[in-house]
Structure 1
Amino acid sequence: MSPGTRSDAVLRAKIEAELALWPSDINQAVVSKILDGSCVYTETTYGHTTPKHRFFIALYTACLMYVDDLGERDLDAVMRFTGRFAKGQDHPDPVLNRLAGLLRQSHELWPQYGADAIIAGTLDAVTAMYIEYTAKHLVIKPSATRFPYYFRTRAGIGPPFIHFIFMNTWRSTPESYLQLLPYMEHWTLGTNLSFYKEELAGETNNYVHLRAAAEETSANHVLRQLVDEVLDSAHTMNVLTSEDAELAALWQKYFHGYLEFSLKAKRYRLAELGYEA
C-alpha cells in the first residue's frame, strides 16, 4: 500500500547545493546515490514534518552516508569525530564539520529528550562505523548472542531516525510515545531491507551474519526469525497506539513511508527482485 509520495523539488535543490560544496575528489556516482537516498528517505518517511525539519533530516542522512564510506579514505577522522565534537574542535573534513553543526542545532527542532537522543545516537553510530572498519575480522563467539543486536542498535542509527518523527511542534514532551520507542526501533532495525545489496556485495559483518554466527545457524534461518520478530513489533505498535489517533496516524505514516523508501532507494536494489513502490 504505497503512499505514492511525490518528490520535493525544493528540498532536492537545497541538498544538491549542499553536496556541491563537498570535497571534489568524491566520486560523482556516489554523490548521486547519496542525493537520491537522503531525499527519498526524507520525502517518504518524514513528509509530515516542516520544510526546516526535512532539510535537517535529509542533510543529516547525507552526512551519515558520507561518513559510512569515509573510513576507506580517512579512518582517523572517523575515529576522532566524537572527541573533537565533545571538545568543540573543528574537524579536518568539511562534511564532518557540517554534521557537527547539525547536531548543535537539534535542540531547536526537537524536544529536549529527542534532541539528546539524536546527538547521543549519532556519536554511537560514528563510533560503530569506526569499529566496523577496524574489527572486520572479529570472530563472533557462539555464547555472545546479545552482541549482534547490541552492535546493530548503534551502527543502525536507530534513535536519531526514530526521534526525527516527533518534532517539537507536535508534542513538547515524550511521555505519550516513550513506551513505543523500543518497538519502533526494533521494527526499523529488524526490517533490514539493506540485506539484499549487502549479500550481493559479499558482506558478512552485518546483523544477519553476526547473529547467525552467534546462534550457530544459517543466515536464511535468521531472516525467517526476523520476519516473525518484525511482524510482532508491528502488531505491538498497532496495539500501543490504538487509543491515540494522532499517534496511530504518525506510526502508520512512518511504517508505510519507511517501506516505500526502501523500495524506491536505488542503493538497496530491490527493484531487481521485482518490488516496486
Structure 2
Amino acid sequence: MSIPTSQIIPPSTTEVAEMIRSYVDSLGYERTVVTLDLQLKSEVMAVPTSWSLGVEKNPRYVAVVHNSVGMADWVYRHHPFEIKVFVSLWTWRVFPFSVFSILVDDQAAELRIPLEQFHLRLLTAEPQMDPLLDRLVLLFQQTPRYWDPICASAIVCSFLDFINYTIIQERAEVKSKRDQVQSASWPPYIRAKDGQPDAFAYMVFTRDACPDVSVYLHAIPDISTFINLTNDVLSFYKEELAGDKHNLVHGRAQTSGATPLDELASIKDECLAAIRRVRAMLHGKGKYEEAWQACFPDHSMFHTATDRYRLSEIGLGQDVVEINSNT
C-alpha cells in the first residue's frame, strides 16, 4: 500500500548530513584541492561552437559545461584526452535533457515532441526534429571508436532509455499520478532507466585498455548500482532542501513504510555492498582492476567538487583549481 508523500515525516537536514558524511567517509573521502583542465574545457566548448547552432550562447547549456568536464576529468581521469572529450560531451548532453522536467512550459514544449520522436526517427534514419539531436546521433556513432562494439551498444541503449523514461515521466497522465507509487519495484526500476548508470559503468573499461569484455562484464551490474545509488545518496541533501520528494529515497519510503532516513541508510549499505562485490570480482585482474580503482572513489568527487549538490554546506566540499594541461 502506498503512503501519501504528505504523510511521510521528512528527516532533518542534520540527520541527512550525518548519513551522507558517513557514506563519503566509507569511500575514503579526503578534502583536497582538485584540478579542472581548462584545455579539456576549451576543446569541449569548441565542438558545439563548430556546429553554428548558437548552442554556445545558450546559458542553460553553457552553465553545465563545467560539470560535464568535471565528470570526465575527475571520474575518468585515466582515459586518454580524446576519450575525456567524448565523455564530457556525452555528459553535457545529459544535463539539458535531465532538466526537462523543471523547465517552464514553453521551453518544455520545445523539447517534448522532438524527444518523443527521437527513437522512431533514429530507427527510420530520418533527420531529427532538432539539429542538436542530429549531433547526438553522431555522438552515438563514435562510441565503437572507444569501447567494444557490444559495450558501445549498451552505452547507447542506456542513453536511449534515459531519454525515453525522462519523457514518460513528463506525460500528463503519468505526472498527475507521480505521488502515487503503487509498486515497490517502480522506484528502483525507473531510477535504473533514467539514471543511465550502465553507460557510465561501461565507460570505465575502454576498448584499447581493457579488450577482454568477459573479465569485467559480471561487475557491470554492481558498478551501475554504485554509480546510480551514490548519486541518490549524495543528491539527497539538496533535494531535501528544495522539498523535492520525487526521488528514490522517498519512492521507496512510500511503499516500504520505513522512514526516508531508514531508506537512505539502506541505499548507503547497498552501495557499499556493491563496491565490495566489484572489488572481489576484479581483484588481481591487473589493468581491469586498475581501471575500476582509477574511477573509484572519484565518482563521489564529482558531487563534492560541484556546487549544484551543495555538499560544501555540510563540510564535504572540494576546492577546484583550473589548470591548463598544455602548460
Aligned 8 A contact 1:38 1:58 in 2: yes
Runs of 4+ in 1 over 6 A off after TM superposition: none
Q: CA RMSD in A?
A: 2.0
1:33 to 60, 63, 71: 63
> Paired residue for 1:50?
80
**How far apart, CA to CA, are the structure 2 residues paired with 1:219 and 1:22?**
44
Runs of 5+ unmatched residues, structure 1 = none
Residue type of the alignment partner of 1:6: T
Deviation of 1:46 after TM superposition, in Å, equals 0.8
Residue type of the alignment partner of 1:212: A
SS at match of 1:243: coil
**2:308 paired with 1:267:** yes
State the TM-score, normalized to the length of structure 2: 0.78
Runs of 5+ unmatched residues, structure 2 = 1-28, 319-327
Q: Which moved more, 1:215-224 or 1:196-205?
A: 196-205
**Deviation digits for residues 124-160 of structure 1, max 9, x if unmatched?**
110011022222333111xx21221111111001111
SS at match of 2:126: coil
**How far apart, CA to CA, are the structure 2 residues paired with 1:25 and 1:175?**
41
**How far apart, CA to CA, are the structure 1 residues paired with 2:72 and 2:134?**
21
**Deviation digits for residues 71-105 of structure 1, max 9, x if unmatched?**
54221122111111222222222322221110111
> Paired residue for 1:62?
92
**How far apart, CA to CA, are the structure 2 residues paired with 1:123 and 1:257?**
25
**2:128 paired with 1:91:** yes
**2:53 paired with 1:16:** no
Closer/same/farther in 2, CA of residues 198 and 82 from structure 1, 3 Å limit: farther
Closer/same/farther in 2, CA of residues 125 and 24 from structure 1, 3 Å limit: closer
Deviation of 1:24 after TM superposition, in Å, equals 5.7
Deviation of 1:200 after TM superposition, in Å, equals 2.4
**2:219 paired with 1:180:** yes
SS at match of 1:13: helix
Deviation of 1:26 after TM superposition, in Å, equals 7.3
**How far apart, CA to CA, are the structure 2 residues paired with 1:83 and 1:231?**
39
Closer/same/farther in 2, CA of residues 216 and 26 from structure 1, 3 Å limit: farther
Structure number with the bigger relative contact order (C-alpha 8 A, sep ≥ 6) is 2
**How far apart, CA to CA, are the structure 2 residues paired with 1:96 and 1:202?**
32
**Deviation digits for residues 200-243 of structure 1, max 9, x if unmatched?**
22222221121111223222111011111111111222222222
Closer/same/farther in 2, CA of residues 41 and 8 from structure 1, 3 Å limit: same
Aligned 8 A contact 1:149 1:207 in 2: yes
**How far apart, CA to CA, are the structure 2 residues paired with 1:25 and 1:13?**
12
Matches within 5 A, 1:189-268: 189-191=228-230, 192=232, 193-268=234-309
Matches within 5 A, 1:104-115: 104-115=141-152
Deviation of 1:6 after TM superposition, in Å, equals 2.4
Matches within 5 A, 1:143-182: 144-182=183-221
SS at match of 1:47: coil
State the TM-score, normalized to the length of structure 1: 0.91
**2:101 paired with 1:78:** no
SS at match of 2:296: helix
Q: Which moved more, 1:261-270 or 1:174-183?
A: 261-270
Residue type of the alignment partner of 2:269: D
* Higher gyration radius (CA): 2
Q: Percent identity over the alignment?
A: 24
**How far apart, CA to CA, are the structure 2 residues paired with 1:94 and 1:17?**
17
Closer/same/farther in 2, CA of residues 117 and 151 from structure 1, 3 Å limit: same
Residue type of the alignment partner of 1:39: V
